[in-house]
DNA sequence: CAGCCGACTGACCGGGCGGTCAATTGAGAT
DNA sequence: ATCTCAATTGACCGCCCGGTCAGTCGGCTG
């Protein structure tokens, strides 16, 4: 049948694509963008170098594809978790927890996400405007939660944009501590620490 | 006199060194380590490429020297400010303010500091153990402030190491927003925002 | 079985840049 | 004026790696 015929080709294509993307994520995570080579990625994926270029335009394109795929999955998961949280406090906690859980399962991805994200604000020549949008999307999600909370009097008034960015980066920082120190510990402790820090600050009353 | 003779040579040496370090900082800040070239740095410093190698062993060595110089100056300034602060609350505020003021005056340096710092926790092949120490030193400073505050009952108990790291990264994040968006605005507003966030959290009460 | 076609291969190319070093310069010393 | 030598120069070298493409392979079709 037509469907099966098409699907057969697609399955192979998707298999190769996944294979290469996984290899890319691993090598990029290990070496960083500049020190990773296409040869290493191809070898890990079990294909020849030329094959990589049948599936991706360039090294940068491959990197961005690996990043994009991960970011989209992350955002989908976070958004889904937010929907199930009733209160503003629960939403904030869900936002933190969802990110911790996702990245605990995708450590290689966290590495490239973390460093790439750090490059963004420098606005260097290697600026990736297409990713500004992906990140903005999440920041906006958090801003909405904050704005609602302030509206309902559950949060102290503050600059929503500024605060959202602070919380966002705070979570990244805590994630780095948790993920990058091959710490197999459950993520529940850091999740609670971060939430408590954000919600209550460090001062007494 | 001997002093003058020696000093004459030293003055030239120091002049060239400074010249090259400033140029390096600017180019590295603009392009990042990999995309910066020694030729660009030499041109900006007004010397030939070979001259750079009379003063620094390698590209990496030059980069580290530029970074180290800035970090040492920063740390000296922060430590000095901390001494003048009587209470734990004042010390925390001084810690934040000193960093904002230093980096406002050294924007090129902030760029390389920021990105280099982001690479550290990834522990990639390009790990720079010598810098772990420089950073640790500051984290320890902050930990001492926190430990004292808890001791005196001015802070809620918490994991000192973990919290110090969170605050440290929070400041970096806020600095990035302030410095990297050619925002000429006075640093006082973000300083207060960060302090308030750290001290009180976002929740009501 | 023959012939076709698209997926895959990997030797090769070219450019870019870190690093070198023989040649040059010029400021004192004699 | 001439010598000396340290500081400086910039043409040059060689490596590395992203990207290419002529050739191979294997499965499907008639």
pLDDT single digits (tens) B130-176: 677 777 888 899 999 999 999 998 888 888 998 999 999 999 999 99
Of the candidates A118, A149, A165, the beta carbon closest to that of B118 is on A118
Residues of B in contact with A96 (CB under 8 A): none
Considering all CA atoms of chain A, what is the largest pairwise distance in Å, rounded to the nearest integer?
70
Instruction: Say whether pLDDT at A147 is over 90.
Output: yes
d(CA B95, CA B199): 13
pLDDT, mean of residues A13-24: 94
pLDDT band (50, 70, 90) for residue A125: very low
Distance B8 CA to C23 C1' (A): 27
DSSP label at residue A110: H
Residue A128: what pLDDT?
Answer: 64
* B163 contacts A126? CB cut-off 8 A: no
Q: What's the rounded Cα separation, in Å, for the pair B135 and B72?
A: 10
pLDDT of residue A203: 67
Q: Residues of B from 25 to 84 whose C-beta is within 7 A of strand C: which are they? A: 35-39, 49-50, 53, 58-60
pLDDT of residue B147: 94
Query: Which of B121, B156, B204 is closest, CB to CB, to A155?
Result: B204
Alpha carbons A122 and B29: distance in angstroms, whole number? 8
What is the pTM for the complete model shown? 0.90
Write down the pLDDT at residue A105.
95
Tell me how close the Cα of B66 comes to any Cα of chain A, in angstroms: 18
Closest C-alpha to A201, from B204, B185, B135: B204
Name all domains of chain B by residue range, CATH numbers in brackets: 1-56 (1.10.10.60), 67-202 (1.10.357.10)
DSSP string, chain B: -HHHHHHHHHHHHHHHHHHHHHHHHHHHHHHHHHH--HHHHHHHHTS-HHHHHHH-SSHHHHHHHHHHHHHHHHHHHHHHHHHH--SHHHHHHHHHHHHHHHHHH-HHHHHHHHHHHHHGGGT-TT--HHHHHHHHHHHHHHHHHHHHHHHTTSB----HHHHHHHHHHHHHHHHHHHHHTT--S-THHHHHHHHHHHHH-SB--
Read off the pLDDT of each residue in A147-162 and give the average, rounded to a whole number: 90
pLDDT on residue B2: 42
Are residues A115 and B118, on separate chains, in Cβ contact within 8 Å?
A: yes
Selected residue with higher pLDDT from A60 and B134? A60
A:61-100 Cβ neighbours of strand C under 7 Å: none
What DSSP state is assigned to residue A180?
T
Residues making up chain B, counted from first to last: 205
Instruction: For residues A173-181, give the mean pLDDT.
Output: 88
Per-residue pLDDT 10s for chain B (205 aa) are 444 445 667 777 889 999 999 999 999 999 999 999 999 999 999 999 999 999 999 999 999 999 999 999 999 999 999 999 999 999 999 999 999 999 999 999 999 999 888 776 665 545 566 677 777 888 899 999 999 999 998 888 888 998 999 999 999 999 998 998 767 788 899 999 999 999 988 766 5
What's the CA–C1' distance between A2 and D26, in Å?
23
- Which chain A residue lies closest to B176 (C-alpha atoms)? A121
């Amino acid at each position: 049948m037509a469907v099966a015929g098409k699907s057969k080709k697609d399955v192979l294509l998707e298999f190769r694509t996944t294979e290469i993307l996984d290899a890319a994520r691993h090598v990029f995570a290990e070496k960083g963008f500049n020190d990773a080579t296409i040869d290493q990625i191809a070898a890990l994926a079990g294909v020849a170098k030329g094959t990589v270029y049948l599936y991706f335009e360039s090294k940068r394109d491959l990197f961005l594809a690996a990043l994009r795929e991960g970011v989209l999955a992350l955002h989908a998961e976070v958004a889904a978790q937010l929907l199930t949280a009733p209160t503003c406090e629960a939403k904030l906690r869900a936002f933190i927890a969802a990110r911790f859980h996702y990245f605990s399962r995708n450590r290689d991805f966290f590495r490239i996400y973390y460093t790439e994200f750090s490059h963004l604000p420098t606005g260097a020549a290697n600026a990736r405007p297409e990713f500004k949008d992906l990140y903005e999307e999440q920041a906006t999600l958090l801003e909405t939660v904050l704005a609602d909370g302030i509206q309902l009097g559950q949060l102290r008034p503050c600059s929503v944009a500024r605060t959202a960015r602070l919380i966002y980066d705070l979570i990244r920082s805590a994630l780095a501590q948790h993920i990058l120190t091959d710490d197999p510990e459950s993520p529940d402790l850091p999740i609670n620490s971060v939430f408590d820090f954000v919600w209550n600050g460090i001062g007494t009353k």
